[in-house]
Amino acid sequence: MLPPHRVVITAFPGVELLDVTGPAEVFSVATRVGGSSRPGYTVRIATADGGPVTTSSGLRLIADLTLDEALDQMDTLLVSGAVAVRDDGVEPILDDELTAWLRDAGPQTTRVGSICAGAHLLAAAGLLDGLTATTHWLTAPQLAAAHPRVTVDPDPIFIRAGRVWTCAGITAGMDMALAMVTEDHGPDLALATARMMVMYVKRPGGQSQFSVPLAVPAAAGDRIDDLRLWIGEHLADDLSAEALAARLHLSVRHFNRLFRRRTQTTPAAYVEAARLEAARRLLQESDRPLTEVAAASGLGSVESLHRSFRRRLGTTPAEYRRRFR
């Protein structure tokens, strides 16, 4: 029988605990569920000096290896992340020693992945250059700004670009680990693992990691925020820029400028995203025909529903329903 697949997960002071333990538990359960007939996985934690680290939650992780010791003892390398919460938002934490090590170790690894803000470490080490990647949606704009050679998509749960994997915030690391189990051993073992862990079976990478209203942090008393909430409750109404501007008693030009400054997108793009999210939810949670889904979500016709799905998701409503129900 083949030897176990060796997984090394890096950690450093302040790391998110679940970034490390979530994927580790997936591989551990997959090994136990697979039984003695499969090679399974070994999971080890590596830190710069091989010593314990205190996580963001205050709990301590005990390392198995130093980074240097891990170099020739891994088949899959997972890089966990951490963020610092500021008054004006969150900021990914970059560990210089780990970044320097990744520059050498990353290209030598059969498979490398990041969990949450760990993508910022991979990018700083040059491992995401020329690739499409994702991370926690809150830090995705910072990743794109700091690394213009990386194509950042803040929407998916995880993205695979050849041997390099990246995933969204924290718990998405478990979804990515399940996808790796699928790649290594097939869907049956991944499904059995998900059932054992009482997970959402398996969220494919294309599923969105956040809802449209949550994409822009709310501000008390903000007229645009109030309008966004109203939009979500009136998706079948006339939501043209002219109608929305009239609702706020603004000129269309001033409204467009104000909306873009607040949300970093246009009113038309925001409305389509909100309607598409409603359609996705209806497809996932109901058996309603496409004509009703199109009407209830505000997309109007089945033709418009298809166009929106193909343009934004690269799939059809029917295929989306088959994959995500």
Superfamily of domain 215-324: Homeodomain-like (1.10.10.60)
What is the per-residue pLDDT across 227-267, written as a single tens digit (0 to 9) for each? 988 998 999 999 999 999 999 999 999 999 999 998 888 99
Question: In the numeric block, which tokens belong to residue 43?
Answer: 């999971």
For 3, which DSSP code? P
Q: What is the DSSP string of 224-249?
A: HHHHHHHHHH-TTS---HHHHHHHTT
- Measured CA to CA, the distance from residue 259 to residue 243 in angstroms comes to 14
The one-digit pLDDT tens for each residue of the chain (325 residues) are 679 999 999 999 999 999 999 999 999 999 999 998 889 999 999 999 999 999 999 999 999 999 999 998 999 999 999 999 888 788 999 999 999 999 999 999 999 999 999 999 999 999 999 999 999 988 999 999 999 999 998 888 899 999 999 999 889 999 999 999 999 999 889 888 988 998 754 454 455 554 555 455 555 557 898 898 899 899 999 999 999 999 999 999 999 999 999 888 899 989 998 999 899 889 988 899 999 999 999 999 999 999 988 888 778 899 888 876 6
Q: 5-197 architecture in CATH?
A: 3-Layer(aba) Sandwich (3.40)
Residues 6+ apart with CB under 8 A from 296: 235, 236, 278, 282, 288
Number of Cβ atoms within 10 Å of the Cβ of 160? 19
CB burial readout 271-305, b (16+ within 10 A) else e: bbbbbbbbbbebbeeeeeebeebbbbbbbeebebb
pLDDT of residue 86: 85
- Say if strands 76-79 and 5-10 run parallel, antiparallel, or are unpaired: parallel
Per domain, the residue ranges of the chain are: 5-197, 215-324
Question: In the numeric block, which tokens belong to residue 242?
Answer: 């002219």
The identity of residue 45, as a single letter, is I
Summary mean pLDDT of the chain? 90
Length of the chain: 325
